[in-house]
Amino acid sequence: MTRLTLPYVFLFFSVSLFQLSSAALLAIDYGGDWIKASVMKPGVPFDVLLNRDSKRKIQSSVGWKKNDRLFASEAYNIATRFPTDSFNSLKFLLGRNFTDEQITSFYRQIAPAVELVETSRNTIGIRRGFNDNKKAAEWSVEELVAMKFAYIKELAESVGGPAEKVKDVVITVPPHFTQFERQAISDAVEIAGMKVLALVNDGTAVAVNYAMTRTFPKQEYHIIYDAGATGISATLVSFKTVDSETAKGKEATQIVVHGVGYDREASGTEMDRRLRDILGADFNSKHPWNDITRDQKGMAKLWKEAQRVKHVLSVNNEASVMVESIAYDIDYKSKVTKAKFEAACEDLHEKFVNPLYNALASAGLTWGEVESVILTGGASRTPMIQNVLKSVVGNKLATNVNADEAAVLGAAFYGASLSRVFKTKEIKVTDISPLPLQVSYVSESATKTRTIQTLVYPPGSKLGTRKTLTLRRKEDFNVTLEYGADAKGLPKGIVEIELTGVADAYNNLTERGAVDPVVKFNVSLSDSGFVSIQDAIMYGEIKDDTLTGKLKGLFGAGPTSQTEGTADAQPSDTESDSASSTESAQSSSTSETPAPEATAATEKVALNKKDQSTIHLEMDRYFKNIPPMNYVEKQRAKERLAAVDSMEASKRRKEDARNSLEAYLYRLRDLLGETDTPFVECSTEEERKTMSEKLDQVFEWMFESADSAGLLEFREKRNLLEDLEKKVQHRYKEREAFPQSLSDIQQAHWATRMFLQSAADNATADAEAGLPTKYTPEELKDVETKLKESEAWLNEGVEKQKAKAAHEDPVILTAEMKARGTTLQAHVMKLLKRKAPRPKKTTTSTSAESSTTPTATATSGTEESTTYITETSESTQTTEHSKDEL
């Protein structure tokens, strides 16, 4: 696989000059087996985030080793020892019902030791196997995924430069992810202490990465084929270079998604499962009295071996299998061939290529119009998949993006383009949803009841759009937002909206003169793929019969019309007999509008509360199937994770204190055991004996009580020994520092004497020249007194120190020597920095004419002075200029 280098970071990515307080952005490509991440902040190169082992991808695992929580490869590797406490492939369980037998049955096959439990929201949770407190050991899938996101967040915040909190995150999701799965991802991000800036579809993120370093003079069509651990998707996109709308003279890249195909069953995990079953059947055939499927650790070891063997078979026709003590004290040895593995996956071949055909069909294109099929995702390296694809697309198969990193780098660039903090190459993206979305409501009359289903967003609808539905209703009614019949195997109902106040609003508008008021509401499909119902109103045209209104009508500005200018084509409510029917989008009036985030702005007339033709309706929401986590549930989850984090932080501090104490004990033991060392010279025999006794006591305590001890106990034990050792260390440090400290203070004394001598000489010269002196005699006397006191103190201390042995406390301390020397120098420097005084000026006046004549020059020692006589009409001024000695 060709790996792109990253010079484009300097070409297309720069930090804006108008940086906000927080400029960190995190992008996460969350996969079933692996997580890739990229952090963008000033001073950090734009690249993939490395884990603590400097690896570019992180195992998508979380687990516990007894009471120690682990992440990434550590969590994955403990599955062979603690299979009930190592949790992988959690992406399969996000946003799914506990009663969904298809998904729970599949997960129990790939992780038979993991115990699934039902949460209060009817979602899937997991119970840890080791913890006896079962309630405390149960975690929802959202909480477990949040732990992994928090781990990535911690890695991102520790990358280069000053520590900066990461708040905004962009996450990739498969294009076929439902509302429930997207919401579960969003909830997990919030529990982890971040907020979702955007969810971007996998194929779209790869398309952004593909376009970052390329230009497209002509429109090109490519298919992004993503084969990952949890499924396969094919995204048909077009690329074209167009003129920028924001900057004249510059170009932008336009990316448009035209079609999407997918298959949830054909996945890398499914191939791993089949290979593991081949190995399991082989083991059972060789050991018929020992069923490997009944041994949890054995199945975990077999799963890990199957993943390794699959990689070997990618480049070899057969692979050796070797697992020591796999189960029942048996060493398993065997061989498996690529042919046998591919035969077991033969029924998946059709599923490998169906997403391609579906993407073409939804886009309305042919193979001749497609330039290439770009492979991405870890499973795309499997030769079996590539061979099947080649039989369909021939030489159009391309490996010109990094299969592991293209999605996360594209997501990071996409997120930067949404943020005001970063400047990027302009890329405009238009994405679609492959899932059908409809609204259903009950139509009742005196004779007949039927359910109307209106397809609002058919497969291929653009993200970031809003549609307005118009219904003729006079009474309160309910509207259900749900997936259409084509979305097989998915929870159908999303949310039910109860619209109230309809009758009162209808009557009020009728009294105002409105004819046939209707109910209008918006169905929004956001850029991140979330669908919602918003802004329900009762609307009716009110004719203005005043002269002004008639004049407006005369000139084409008649009474306020319906917002979208659509006519009602509603099913009749007068039919008899109870029945149920399904109707197309034409059964209600719909209109598509971009930018669902700006609903109020685009519906200025219909949603204006002061408009007499509009009355807002009350909406009560009732979530169907899987409700999103509410505020209380999220707070409770955050508190649980915070409690775990706090406990682990406390445990780390305790372990650090224990390790520090243990290292200190061994170091002190070595010091006490040596002879003819500075430590022995600077300590007495009694001191060493006391330290040895205390050391033995602490060692004994470490072996007997350290496991149950707290942080303070470890610190107290160390302080006990350090207090004894400090005296010896103090003597040794004083002994080592004494020569240099003595030299420093003697230099200070010498410099002070030189200053006094120089000051005395200058004072004599100034007096002879009749100039003011810089220093007073009192100041110089004070310096001399301080110097003599310091010299006397030093001489007396040095003589006493000579009589002291190394194991005795010093008489004169280096710190005091330094302090006295520093004080003396500071006093002298204060005098030296003083400016020399200026000589006094003398003035005489005589009448004369205007002329200047030099009359005398006098020189005295180092002092020169020149006298000038200046003649004016009024007086003669004599000015003496002298140059002071510095």
Residue 803 lies in a domain: yes
State whether 812 and 676 are in the same domain. Answer: yes
The answer to the question of residue 471 being in a domain is: yes
Both tokens assigned to 722: 């350090």
Q: Which residue has the higher pLDDT, 260 or 797?
A: 260
The percent helix, strand, coil of the chain (3-state, each to 5) is: 40, 25, 35
Q: Residue 853: inside a domain, yes or no?
A: yes
Burial of 746 (0-12, 13-18, 19+ CB in 10 A): middle
Asked if residue 821 has pLDDT above 50, the reply is yes
Mean pLDDT across the stretch 567-593?
37
Confidence check: pLDDT of 861 > 70:
no
* One domain, residues 248 and 102: yes
Is the pLDDT at 563 greater than 50? The verdict is no
Same domain, 719 and 610: no
Count of beta carbons in the 10 Å neighbourhood of residue 288: 8
Residue 713, domain member (yes or no): yes
Residue 357 is predicted with a pLDDT of: 96
pLDDT in tens, 5-17: 333 333 333 333 3
The mean pLDDT value of the chain amounts to: 83
Measure the CA–CA gap between 445 and 287, rounded to whole angstroms. 70
Quick: pLDDT tens for 164-184. Answer: 788 999 999 999 999 999 999
pLDDT of residue 635: 95
Mean pLDDT, residues 461-488 taken together: 89
Same domain for 583 and 519: yes
Domain boundary, last residue among 629, 657, 687: 629
Which among 573, 596, 294 is positioned nearest to 457, based on CA atoms? 596
- Mind listing the pLDDT tens digit for each residue in 65-110? 988 899 999 999 999 999 999 999 999 999 999 999 999 999 999 9
Least confident of 86-90, 92-96, 626-630, 668-672: 668-672
Tokens of 404: 């592991």
Q: Does pLDDT of 673 surpass 90?
A: no
- Both 811 and 852 in a single domain? no
DSSP letters along 284-352, please? Answer: HHH-TTS-GGG-HHHHHHHHHHHHHHHHHHTT-SEEEEEEEEEETTEEEEEEEEHHHHHHHTGGGHHHH
User: Do 460 and 393 sit in the same domain of this protein?
Assistant: no
Task: Give me the percent of the chain exceeding a pLDDT of 70.
Answer: 82
Report how far residue 373's alpha carbon sits from residue 430's, in angstroms, rounded to the nearest whole number: 20
Q: 507 and 398 share a domain?
A: no
Is residue 809 helix, strand or coil?
A: coil
For the beta carbon of residue 509, count every other beta carbon within 10 angstroms: 23
CA distances in angstroms from 388 to 204, 347, 353, 702, 824, listed in the order given: 24, 12, 7, 63, 89
Tokens of 456: 């609002």
pLDDT of residue 582: 34
Asked which of 426, 458, 480 is the last residue of a domain, the reply is 426
Query: In this structure, what token pair is assigned to residue 612?
Result: 């007499």
Question: Looking at residue 570, what DSSP letter applies?
Answer: P
What pLDDT digit, counting tens, does each position of 738-747 carry? 899 999 999 9
Residue span of the structural domain in which 541 resides: 436-629
Residue 827 pLDDT class (50, 70, 90 cuts): confident
- Asked if the structure places residue 333 within a domain, the reply is no
Contact 441, 519 (CB under 8 A): no
574 alpha carbon, distance to own chain's centre? 57
Say whether 7 sits in a helix, a strand or coil: coil
CA atoms within 13 A of residue 45's CA, in its CB half-sphere: 8
Beta-carbon contacts of residue 74 (< 8 Å; ≥ 6 apart): 63, 65
Angle at 169 between CA 633 and CA 32, to 5 degrees: 75
Residue 553 has pLDDT above 80, yes or no: no
Dist CA 805 CA 685 (whole Å) = 14
- Residue 26: pLDDT over 60: yes
Q: What's the CATH code of the domain at 353?
A: 3.30.420.40
Rounded to an integer, what distance in angstroms lies between the CA atom of residue 545 and that of residue 793?
111
Q: Name residue 525's beta-bridge partners.
A: 465, 531
Asked whether residue 161 is assigned to any structural domain, the reply reads yes
More confident residue, 842 or 575: 842
Q: Is 686 among the domain residues?
A: yes
Residues 37, 119: Cα–Cα separation, whole Å: 30
Q: How confident is the model at residue 847 (pLDDT cuts 50, 70, 90)?
A: very low
Q: Kindly indicate the confidence band of residue 46, based on its pLDDT and cuts at 50, 70 and 90.
A: confident
Contact, 533 vs 495, CB < 8 A? yes
Higher-scoring residue by pLDDT: 843, 10: 843
Same domain (yes/no): 851, 827: no
- Dist CA 608 CA 605 (whole Å): 5
Question: 58, 152 in Cβ contact below 8 A?
Answer: yes
Write out the DSSP string of 141-170: HHHHHHHHHHHHHHHHHTSSSS-----EEE
Instruction: Count CB atoms within 10 A of the CB of residue 754.
Output: 11
Q: Tell me the pLDDT tens digit for each residue of 757-791.
A: 888 888 888 788 778 888 888 888 888 898 999 88
Residue 38 near residue 49 (C-beta atoms within 8 A): yes
Q: Which of 426, 457, 485 is the last residue of a domain?
A: 426
Do 237 and 385 belong to one domain? yes
Task: Indicate whether 583 belongs to any domain.
Answer: yes
pLDDT tens, 523-535? 999 999 999 998 8
Which residue, 370, 374, 356, 366, is CA-closest to 221? 370
Taking a C-beta distance cutoff of 8 angstroms, is the pair 745, 787 a contact? no
Q: pLDDT at residue 287 above 60?
A: yes
Mean pLDDT, to the nearest integer, of 292-307?
95
The candidate with the shortest Cα–Cα distance to 563, out of 592, 525, 527, is 592
Neighbour order of strands in the sheet with 195-201: 58-59, 34-40, 25-30, 168-173, 195-201
Domain count, the chain: 4
Cα(592)–Cα(480) distance, integer angstroms? 19
| Residue 30 and residue 151 in one domain | yes
Task: Verify that 406 and 552 share a domain, yes or no.
Answer: no
Q: How many residues are present in the chain? A: 886
Same domain, 377 and 403: yes
